Amino acid sequence: MAADPRQAPATPPQDDPARELPQDELAALDAHWRAANYLSVGQIYLMANPLLTEPLRPEHVKPRLLGHWGTSPGLNLVHTHLNRVIRARDLDAVCVWGPGHGGPAVLANSWLEGSYTEVYPDVTRDAAGMALLFRQFSFPGGVPSHVAPQTPGSIHEGGELGYALSHAYGAAFDNPGLLVTCVIGDGEAETGPLAASWHSNKFLDPVNDGAVLPILHLNGYKIANPAVLARLPEAELDALLRGYGHEPLHVTGDDPEAVHRAMAHALDTALDRIAALQDAARTGGATDRPRWPMIVLRTPKGWTGPAEVDGLPVEGTWRAHQVPLSGVREDPEHLRLLEGWLRSYRPEELFDEYGAPRAAVRALLPEGRRRLGANPHANGGLLLRSLPLPPLERHAVPVDKPGSSLHEPTRVLGALLSDVMEATAGRRDFRLVGPDETASNRLEAVYARTGKAWQAETLGTDEHLDRHGRVMEILSEHTCQGWLEGYLLTGRHGLFSCYEAFAHIVDSMVNQHVKWLRTTRGLPWRAPVASLNYLLTSHVWRQDHNGFSHQDPGFVDHVLNKSPEAVRVYLPPDANTLLAVADHVLRSRDYVNVVVAGKQPCFDWLSPEQARAHCARGAGLWEWAGTEDGTRAPDVVLACAGDVPTQEVLAAAQLLRRHLPSLAVRVVNVVDLARLLPAEEHPHGMSDFEYDGLFTTDRPVIFAYHGYPWLIHRLAYRRAGHPHLHVRGYKEIGTTTTPFDMVVGNDMDRYRLVMDVIDRVPGLAVRAAAVRRTMEDARLRHHAWIREHGTDLPEVADWTWDG
Amino acid sequence: MAADPRQAPATPPQDDPARELPQDELAALDAHWRAANYLSVGQIYLMANPLLTEPLRPEHVKPRLLGHWGTSPGLNLVHTHLNRVIRARDLDAVCVWGPGHGGPAVLANSWLEGSYTEVYPDVTRDAAGMALLFRQFSFPGGVPSHVAPQTPGSIHEGGELGYALSHAYGAAFDNPGLLVTCVIGDGEAETGPLAASWHSNKFLDPVNDGAVLPILHLNGYKIANPAVLARLPEAELDALLRGYGHEPLHVTGDDPEAVHRAMAHALDTALDRIAALQDAARTGGATDRPRWPMIVLRTPKGWTGPAEVDGLPVEGTWRAHQVPLSGVREDPEHLRLLEGWLRSYRPEELFDEYGAPRAAVRALLPEGRRRLGANPHANGGLLLRSLPLPPLERHAVPVDKPGSSLHEPTRVLGALLSDVMEATAGRRDFRLVGPDETASNRLEAVYARTGKAWQAETLGTDEHLDRHGRVMEILSEHTCQGWLEGYLLTGRHGLFSCYEAFAHIVDSMVNQHVKWLRTTRGLPWRAPVASLNYLLTSHVWRQDHNGFSHQDPGFVDHVLNKSPEAVRVYLPPDANTLLAVADHVLRSRDYVNVVVAGKQPCFDWLSPEQARAHCARGAGLWEWAGTEDGTRAPDVVLACAGDVPTQEVLAAAQLLRRHLPSLAVRVVNVVDLARLLPAEEHPHGMSDFEYDGLFTTDRPVIFAYHGYPWLIHRLAYRRAGHPHLHVRGYKEIGTTTTPFDMVVGNDMDRYRLVMDVIDRVPGLAVRAAAVRRTMEDARLRHHAWIREHGTDLPEVADWTWDG
């Protein structure tokens, strides 16, 4: 046992004698815990002799020892105790395993309760299945060492740390009957995303949402260091957790029996309190913010493992983090220690001669869908209903003629979302999340149907705060993302609206979510979930208030590096195309969809029917905007993707029509960026036949793109016409200035595009030299005007399409 | 005044009568505060008539009203009071302005104290300068609306929120004489990075580090919502802050005089406590972790601004966030309100007839380098010393013949870093930061010279914890990054070692840092600072323990989207090249350098001299590895970047030499990725002449790249030989498996590379069909072997270079 002086005796069961744990339950808890520990160690080490029916020999041990033992006994303890209360109270519960490196633990528990065999029939609940369970772990072609999509009952990949608690809250929202337990490791607790997510309890509605029970597991160490929270005096930690709005229950110890008693008591106390708080809000009409209980569980890292190896303490220290005995195949002493460790769990008491868990181990297991590995909320696609979406025509803006009216696209989208909010008022399976930007992003029509979730104090001057609201705003992109992921993975729908530049804050989170989706596509038992939809607005070209720090269009680049089967990027150029794209992404499954759209007034280019057809194609020719006559190939293709580039391209087309009327100009608009990829690289990729037909193979293509120009090259470099492709876009020239000055600064303005055409169409340089000078003059005029007036040139500010 | 019922009377000055604020100081504080408020409003609104010497007319007002008023009066209050204590106590102090959207406030204060005019001589401290100060704000060609690099005294861009406190700690480390005040907005306080960074106080050494004084400013609202912390009952907030390890001092109010008194008292109390805590540690030998004071300042948002506009409350609500009066040019009532608002500060009492601040306003200003806008720590390059680096030969590994020995590159680097730690033991201007991975990343040689910073409890089983250590480990990449940025911007050096995949956690932070560096390059008064150096290790190819969740090589892609003048990426292929690169980046200035290097045993390819020469070139021909004879162009170029790709390319070259001895193979290794870019796109870019000489214009180039293959295309698409470039790399095929299985899965293995050569060298397909089948067979043999044994094929595991 660890010599950690902090390991005071476990909190004794308190006064209530009814709370005394019956001896048979104690025995069953301990048997189950020992079985789970045995199976965890077995997964890390063994490839044969799973029941130790013969003395352990080197060849029974895997050649590569991979995995994380340190956190596993703690997770096993939690799972074992959750089984007891789920069964005793018939709870509908899931658990988010934050210290997900402890994959062996959750796999062991799933195998013990039978849920593992149900989805992986080869891994039977007997000796043969146990052998397979052990062998496959961290083995090539086998299963990951973490709690992962492959793990039954999981909605949370335990690799990258920080998101456990926000995932748990996401799962609890709008699931009033659900208990979401969440184990938070003391390592993970140091991360920013986790630290922020404690305040999620100010957004949890005790009436319409389920409960979240955080279990902060302090085993004291990370990879090589003590954990900060584990080294706070208990009073200081207690103050912190009360400051987070919780009532902590402390369970501390290293004596299994005492910890079992204390843990059972703490869980019962917590669940009673949760029930009372929910009852007070649901039937008692209480409206004060509940102080939800939580558990602080302090047990040694690598508990029950080797106390000392090679003369150094292991149990209770960071040395227990991964594989405590590393030389088992070579070192007889290590082999001996491993065998002793495994036998210390008394496997013969736990498994019968066929390798099946004995009745004592199974005594407290829940049944059917109540098992943590079989709860359908953790395979949320099973519960997913189609989102009721209004007909697009209801909110589409009328467009008789391109460019004759202006709308703020996101405001138009807000009306559609308002309908969705109304249609889901009873079902409560749609939420809008964002970092305090719903109104700023002009989606505030939703407030007619629902308010902003808020359980903290409300003042008379507040607006739209709503104890039962389904708009989620907190100034933490991490928390927003975590909430939404948890909500989607438990079978609901949502949209994340975010300033474009700050989507990068969740780059690493979207990585993990895409990896999750990619992996689940290979798991037939995982039902598809609703896509994670981003609306990136307040984008790079319109940061009038904020300037350079708020200018970054690179989230799209980041997402397009990920598994193509799971990512989609859309740049609708106006209000109706935004509606069409939104309709599509809100119906889709298992994708990460990134939609980039402006909130500023924007010309309406396409009618609803045109918009729908254009978005279905993803990229298309805008005949009305060009000057082709159909008798010959165009002289030049002007391509655009994004609202601001589209406006500049149309303005350039208009200038060309006026100044060079004999030039055959084709205008192509791209909504679905992946269309540019080869068909074999992305499911949306165009065939070369389509691409060449649209862009030609030999004419100059001047492409105005919303973001970093080289992204277009990266997508299109295999095309025959690539040598003729010239892309304009954002090249990190940013400041606080006017919208048109931004495009001039980045060489994407209409005048520059016309100059590009003149420079690249063979023979035009001489013939159109005067036009080129006119364009240069316009840019000079712009520079002079803006420094003087601080506004855009009237000819630009008042520009309209005259096509 | 706001009707917020939370605005209780300000905390009265407490018992100590010596603490009573003298009436003249009170008057001076208030005059300065009013002056700063006047100047803040003026910047947002006025482009003429700065002193209101004539009645305000529409044409005096800017045509575009941009900026953030809401936070400005609070920042002005803090700055005003800091002036008093800096002067009274002769403090060496800087301030990090977290609510940096309040740019007008910090600019106003810098102008008032004269530091602004010193760096921007046109903006004189008189009416003409005031007019310029007003006009330039948020005006095209002017200055950003945020606290930004352009702002004297700032080390913190106030655009993206979350990093104020970690920046403050970074500034305080190893600056024992410095006081770093840090204003944290209640919006920013909701972010994850800020929430995590409160625990930085467990890492602050009271002996060798300066003090950090957090000032949590609760003005109650964000853009459109109440702030969470502002709506906690005071006892709950107090518990939270005590849980963070602080002793909070609460200042609450909306009556200026009362708030002045309370704030002065709180600041004096806090500074006395800081002095006492430092004295106890420095001379009294105290070793217990100090509970540092902090201030909670609760004042209305938009305090002193219009109470009501168009019938809606503004002061004290979210409506004060940006521009409270938006229609001033059009609406006479708004114009009248603006004039009344400006005159409410009684500008005639504050500025003389020439527009200069009167003596009453200037009475409490510090002087010279004590002014917050002139403290050299906030322009850290002024204080920067060259880092003492050992001669590379001291740690280089001997290489008589390529590939005849193996080393763990990061372990070799650790020895160099240990020397740097020793050489800076007295100067204390170098720190190593990382999320609990220094030992995991095999840099632990540094522990011979310094330990891990740690002020919390220490147990007997701990190792390398050190109250005065300069290795910084916390499981928060955000905090690591913020600490290092603050440390570098105040004129010191450092290295951030991080798992490659999890560098994405700080994507948005590195964005802001690169933007900062880019901007400072245009500011002659900003002295260059040490580069921000990343060592990305535990990389995508060697995630044996963790698998898919830990595999992401895209941080490089992200960084290469940023301003080319400020970013550099290096992929040293072995130990000696890593040393050469490290030597270079640690000497460099004003860059973000990303170094990707493995920690696993890796063949040594280059001698120290060769390594230095190769890294200086950045990319070069490895004659010894190829089979060119110099008489003709090669048949094929095998290129590589990264340690694993280099090994596979060399193994492929060896296979080609054996199986197709007449083929002329060239091997090119790329260390400095930007070399692939055109010279006009990046300062390190190769000319076409160089590129074509190295890669040819017409021979197939098979490029094995460490990361996403399309990045190489994005860099090289303009090259003449691009149509012949074929790149292999990581394409999101990941799992828990062996190293070689990873490269096979991603088609970057030696056998696949040989097949690529056969497929692409004209005429080889037929001639080498048998060789191709041999390669295919080897891949099939691999698949069979690994499923059976869980280890790599012996011929791969035992491979050596025989060149």
Q: How confident is the model at residue B544 (pLDDT cuts 50, 70, 90)?
A: confident
Overall average pLDDT of the A589-612 stretch: 97
Both structure tokens of B51:
């002193």
Please enumerate in sequence order all residues whose Cβ is within 8 A of that of B328, keeping only pairs 6 or more positions apart, or say none.
B45, B58, B61, B65, B334, B335, B338
- Rounded to a whole number, what is the distance in angstroms from the first to the last CA of chain A? 82
Q: Which chain B residues are Cβ-neighbours of A160 within 8 angstroms?
A: 501-502, 505, 549-550
Amino acid at B142: G
Helix %, strand %, coil % of chain B (to 5): 45, 15, 40
Both structure tokens of A398:
């009328």
Q: How confident is the model at residue A351 (pLDDT cuts 50, 70, 90)?
A: very high
Tell me the residues of chain B between 89 and 108 that have a Cβ less than 8 Å away from chain A: 101
Q: Do residues A466 and A453 touch, judged by C-beta distance below 8 A?
A: yes
Q: What is the dihedral of CA B687, B693, B698, B700, to 10 degrees?
A: -100
Q: Residue for token digits 């007036």?
A: A789
With an 8 Å Cβ cutoff, are A549 and B515 in contact? yes
B189-225: b or e for each residue (b if 16 or more CB lie within 10 Å)?
Answer: bbbbbbbbbbbbbbbbbbebbbbbbbbbbbbbbbbbb
- Compute the nearest-CA separation of A327 from chain B (Å): 16
Q: How confident is the model at residue B546 (pLDDT cuts 50, 70, 90)?
A: confident
Q: How confident is the model at residue A276 (pLDDT cuts 50, 70, 90)?
A: very high
- Does the structure show a pLDDT above 80 at A61? yes
Interface test with A, best of B45, B508, B551, B726 (most A CBs within 10 A): B508
- Does the structure show a pLDDT above 70 at B560? yes
Tell me the residues of chain A between 280 and 319 that have a Cβ less than 8 Å away from chain B: 313, 316-317
Comparing C-alpha atoms, which of B215, B214, B216, B210 is closest to residue B179?
B210
Query: Scanning every residue of chain A, which has its alpha carbon at the shortest distance from the alpha carbon of B482?
Result: A192
Interface test with A, best of B231, B247, B543 (most A CBs within 10 A): B231
Higher pLDDT residue, A724 or A630?
A724
A-to-B residue pairs, Cβ atoms closer than 8 angstroms: 389
Q: Please check whether residue A732 touches B, CB under 8 A.
A: yes
Q: Residue for token digits 């979930």?
A: A529
With an 8 Å Cβ cutoff, are B231 and A457 in contact? yes
Overall average pLDDT of the A784-798 stretch: 94
Q: Which domains does chain B have, with CATH numbers?
A: 22-379 (3.40.50.970), 389-394+402-602 (3.40.50.970), 618-797 (3.40.50.920)
Overall average pLDDT of the B560-577 stretch: 97
Pairing of strands A602-603, A406-407: antiparallel
Of B16-20, B79-83, B238-242, B723-727, give the lowest mean pLDDT range. Answer: B16-20
With an 8 Å Cβ cutoff, are A64 and B738 in contact? yes
Distance CA A763, CA A748 (A): 23
Distance CA B112, CA B103 (A): 14
With an 8 Å Cβ cutoff, are B192 and A190 in contact? no
Both structure tokens of B210:
């300066």
Helices (H), A53-157: 72-89, 103-113, 115-119, 127-136
Overall average pLDDT of the A185-202 stretch: 98
Q: Do residues B260 and B268 touch, judged by C-beta distance below 8 A?
A: no
Query: Scanning every residue of chain A, which has its alpha carbon at the shortest distance from the alpha carbon of B464?
Result: A225
User: What values do phi and psi take at B410, rounded to 5?
Assistant: -70, -30
With an 8 Å Cβ cutoff, are B64 and A791 in contact? yes
Q: How confident is the model at residue B151 (pLDDT cuts 50, 70, 90)?
A: very high
Q: How confident is the model at residue A18 (pLDDT cuts 50, 70, 90)?
A: low
With an 8 Å Cβ cutoff, are B68 and A545 in contact? yes
* Dmax (CA) of chain A: 99
Interface test with B, best of A135, A197, A459 (most B CBs within 10 A): A459
Residue B545: its pLDDT value, please?
A: 78
For the stretch B307-320, pLDDT in tens is 999 999 999 999 99
With an 8 Å Cβ cutoff, are A476 and B192 in contact? yes
Residue B537, classed as helix, strand or coil, is strand
- Does the structure show a pLDDT above 60 at B9? no
Q: Please check whether residue B713 touches A, CB under 8 A.
A: yes
Percent of residues, chain B, with pLDDT higher than 90: 94
With an 8 Å Cβ cutoff, are A735 and B191 in contact? no
Residue B526, classed as helix, strand or coil, is coil
With an 8 Å Cβ cutoff, are B228 and A714 in contact? no
- Does the structure show a pLDDT above 70 at B46? yes
- pTM for the model stands at 0.97
Considering only CB atoms, B544 lies closest to which of A66, A457, A474, namely A66
- Does the structure show a pLDDT above 80 at A7? no
Query: Scanning every residue of chain B, which has its alpha carbon at the shortest distance from the alpha carbon of A461?
Result: B317
Q: Residue for token digits 């793990």?
A: A151
Q: Please check whether residue A162 touches B, CB under 8 A.
A: yes
Comparing C-alpha atoms, which of A153, A143, A160, A142 is closest to residue A100?
A160
With an 8 Å Cβ cutoff, are A142 and B736 in contact? yes
Please enumerate in sequence order all residues whose Cβ is within 8 A of that of B223, keeping only pairs 6 or more positions apart, or say none.
A436, A437, A439, A440, B187, B318, B321
Residue A581: its pLDDT value, please?
A: 98
- Does the structure show a pLDDT above 50 at B1? no
With an 8 Å Cβ cutoff, are A313 and B239 in contact? no
- Does the structure show a pLDDT above 90 at A16? no
Tell me the residues of chain A between 475 and 494 that have a Cβ less than 8 Å away from chain B: 475-479
- Rounded to a whole number, what is the distance in angstroms from the first to the last CA of chain B? 83
Distance CA A775, CA A781 (A): 10
- Does the structure show a pLDDT above 60 at A697? yes
Distance CA B417, CA B119 (A): 37
Query: Scanning every residue of chain A, which has its alpha carbon at the shortest distance from the alpha carbon of B452?
Result: A225
Query: Scanning every residue of chain A, which has its alpha carbon at the shortest distance from the alpha carbon of B157?
Result: A549
Pairing of strands B211-218, B292-298: parallel
Overall average pLDDT of the A56-73 stretch: 96
Average pLDDT, chain A: 95
With an 8 Å Cβ cutoff, are A549 and B146 in contact? yes
For the stretch B466-483, pLDDT in tens is 999 999 999 999 999 999
Both structure tokens of A763:
């023979």
Residue B3: its pLDDT value, please?
A: 38
Overall average pLDDT of the B297-301 stretch: 98
Distance CA B192, CA B122 (A): 41
ipTM of the complex: 0.96
- Compute the nearest-CA separation of A630 from chain B (Å): 31
- Does the structure show a pLDDT above 70 at B6? no
- Compute the nearest-CA separation of A537 from chain B (Å): 16
Distance CA A145, CA A43 (A): 9
Both structure tokens of B329:
């040019």
Residue A268: its pLDDT value, please?
A: 98
- Does the structure show a pLDDT above 90 at A15? no
Both structure tokens of A248:
């902590």
Both structure tokens of A800:
């309209």
Residue B16: its pLDDT value, please?
A: 57
With an 8 Å Cβ cutoff, are B317 and A461 in contact? yes
Q: Do residues A672 and A573 touch, judged by C-beta distance below 8 A?
A: no
Residue B626: its pLDDT value, please?
A: 96
For the stretch A149-172, pLDDT in tens is 999 999 999 889 999 999 999 999
Helices (H), A96-151: 103-113, 115-119, 127-136
Overall average pLDDT of the A94-102 stretch: 93
Considering only CB atoms, B138 lies closest to which of A562, A722, A736, namely A736
For the stretch B419-458, pLDDT in tens is 999 999 999 999 999 998 898 889 999 999 999 999 999 9
Q: Mutual orientation of helices A103-113 and A72-89 as an angle, nearest 10°?
A: 30
For the stretch B251-280, pLDDT in tens is 999 999 999 999 999 999 999 999 999 999
Amino acid at B433: V
Q: How confident is the model at residue A4 (pLDDT cuts 50, 70, 90)?
A: very low
For the stretch B173-185, pLDDT in tens is 999 999 999 999 9
Both structure tokens of B195:
């929430």
Query: Scanning every residue of chain B, which has its alpha carbon at the shortest distance from the alpha carbon of A732?
Result: B563
Overall average pLDDT of the A20-40 stretch: 96
Considering only CB atoms, A511 lies closest to which of B5, B242, B552, namely B552
Distance CA B171, CA B174 (A): 8
- Compute the nearest-CA separation of A98 from chain B (Å): 14
Q: Do residues B124 and A511 touch, judged by C-beta distance below 8 A?
A: no
- Which long-range contacts (C-beta less than 8 Å, at least 24 apart) are formed by B459-464? B459/A4, B459/A5, B459/A6, B459/A226, B460/A3, B461/A3, B461/A4, B461/A313, B461/A316, B461/A317, B462/A226, B463/A224
Overall average pLDDT of the B712-721 stretch: 96
Q: Tally the residues of chain A.
A: 803
Query: Scanning every residue of chain B, which has its alpha carbon at the shortest distance from the alpha carbon of A513?
Result: B549
Residue A1: its pLDDT value, please?
A: 36
Interface test with B, best of A461, A701, A733 (most B CBs within 10 A): A461
Q: Please check whether residue B238 touches A, CB under 8 A.
A: yes
Query: Scanning every residue of chain A, which has its alpha carbon at the shortest distance from the alpha carbon of B244?
Result: A240
Sheet holding A701-705, edge to edge: A619-621, A665-670, A636-641, A701-705, A725-728
Q: How confident is the model at residue A686 (pLDDT cuts 50, 70, 90)?
A: very high
Cα separations in angstroms, B504 against A291, A524, B146, B165, B498 = 35, 30, 25, 21, 10
User: Backbone dihedral region of B82: left (phi > 0), alpha (psi from -120 to 50 degrees) or beta?
Assistant: alpha
Distance CA B608, CA B550 (A): 32
User: What values do phi and psi take at B206, rounded to 5?
Assistant: -65, -15
Q: How confident is the model at residue A20 (pLDDT cuts 50, 70, 90)?
A: confident
Q: Do residues B562 and B514 touch, judged by C-beta distance below 8 A?
A: yes
Overall average pLDDT of the B408-414 stretch: 97
Cα separations in angstroms, A624 against A628, B447, B603, B794 = 9, 70, 62, 65
Q: Mutual orientation of helices A234-243 and B234-243 as an angle, nearest 10°?
A: 140
Distance CA A468, CA A456 (A): 12
Residue B588, classed as helix, strand or coil, is coil
Q: Do residues A40 and A108 touch, judged by C-beta distance below 8 A?
A: yes
Tell me the residues of chain A between 169 and 228 that have a Cβ less than 8 Å away from chain B: 187-188, 190-199, 202, 222-228
DSSP state of A276: H
Considering only CB atoms, A228 lies closest to which of B437, B474, B554, namely B474
Q: How confident is the model at residue B18 (pLDDT cuts 50, 70, 90)?
A: low
Q: Residue for token digits 């909504």?
A: A671
DSSP H or E run through B153: none
Query: Scanning every residue of chain B, which has its alpha carbon at the shortest distance from the alpha carbon of A502?
Result: B508
- Compute the nearest-CA separation of B184 from chain A (Å): 13
Q: Do residues B184 and B212 touch, judged by C-beta distance below 8 A?
A: no
Residue A444: its pLDDT value, please?
A: 93
Distance CA A11, CA A252 (A): 6
Query: Scanning every residue of chain B, which has its alpha carbon at the shortest distance from the alpha carbon of A565?
Result: B732
Amino acid at A590: D
- Compute the nearest-CA separation of A190 from chain B (Å): 5
How crowded is residue A657: how many other Cβ atoms within 10 Å of its Cβ?
16
Q: What is the DSSP track for B381-414?
A: GGG--------GGGTPPP-SSTTS-EE-HHHHHH
Q: Which chain B residues are Cβ-neighbours of A238 within 8 angstroms?
A: 243
Q: Which chain A residues are Cβ-neighbours of B461 within 8 angstroms?
A: 3-4, 313, 316-317
Overall average pLDDT of the A46-64 stretch: 97
- Does the structure show a pLDDT above 80 at B358? yes
Both structure tokens of B627:
């089979």
Query: Scanning every residue of chain A, which has its alpha carbon at the shortest distance from the alpha carbon of B504?
Result: A508
Q: Please check whether residue A426 touches B, CB under 8 A.
A: no
Residue B716: its pLDDT value, please?
A: 97
